[in-house]
Chain A
Amino acid sequence: DTAVSQTPKYLVTQMGNDKSIKCEQNLGHDTMYWYKQDSKKFLKIMFSYNNKELIINETVPNRFSPKSPDKAHLNLHINSLELGDSAVYFCASSPSGTGSRYTIYFGEGSWLTVV
């Protein structure tokens, strides 16, 4: 069984569109994250939620809005997509707190291409 699953795996869309990426974890973890990995493989945290509460919000454009309906789900909605949003987006989770002392479990990634 997949521990952290995210959909879709591949997404090609036009500039200006709005899209969502869904994420679910079945590990019983309290904390979930969204990371962005660019073409140079640089991985940067975007958001972190602990028990549905936003605890980390990096300098991400307002066009990106995370939503956590419950602690097992963390979705990412992106408005008005731009070419620079093309990247791989990883959902992740960790057992508790902000995850710094614990293993972070990553999903397989969602490859977003904006054309």
Chain B
Amino acid sequence: SQQGEEDPQALSIQEGENATMNCSYKTSINNLQWYRQNSGRGLVHLILIRSNEREKHSGRLRVTLDTSKKSSSLLITASRAADTASYFCASDYTGGGNKLTFGTGTQLKVEL
């Protein structure tokens, strides 16, 4: 399977703490994206990191990419209850026909 695998599958933290989610993939990629899905809603794009980039920031989000380990991480700092959602990585595999393959997702719960 070409899909990414995310770790942990579920994460529960207190508001104000940082949340880190990891994504591993199997073959070379062109880029990797992170998406968020609130319960009962569609996915929303958060951030894209290219294969030649190592780190990217967007507000309280920080994404890293380690192509040697075929892994990426998403860090949400100072989490809020509104960050409760599922988070998916999606990668564009080299030779994969230019389609995004989504990971299995991490369900994040931020408690007050």
Contacts and interface: CB of A to CB of B under 8 A. Distances in A.
Interface of A: 4, 40-45, 48, 56, 90, 92, 97-101, 103-109
B99 A48 contact: yes
Size category of the B interface is 20 to 34
Question: Per DSSP, are chain A's interface residues mostly helix, strand or loop, or mixed?
Answer: loop
Contact of A101 (B31, B35, B101): B31
Contacts of B107: 41
Given A41-B86, A42-B104, A105 B45 contact: yes
Contacts of A56: 97, 99
B99 A45 contact: yes
B44 A106 contact: yes
Contacts of B13: none
12 contacts: A41-B105, A41-B107, A44-B102, A56-B99, A90-B42, A90-B43, A98-B97, A99-B100, A104-B45, A104-B100, A108-B42, A109-B41
A89 to B, nearest CB: 11
A56 B40 CA distance: 26
B8 to A, nearest CB: 14
B11 interface: no
B98 interface: yes
B100 A45 contact: yes
Interface string B65-107: 0000000000000000000001010101000011111101101
Contacts of A108: 41-42
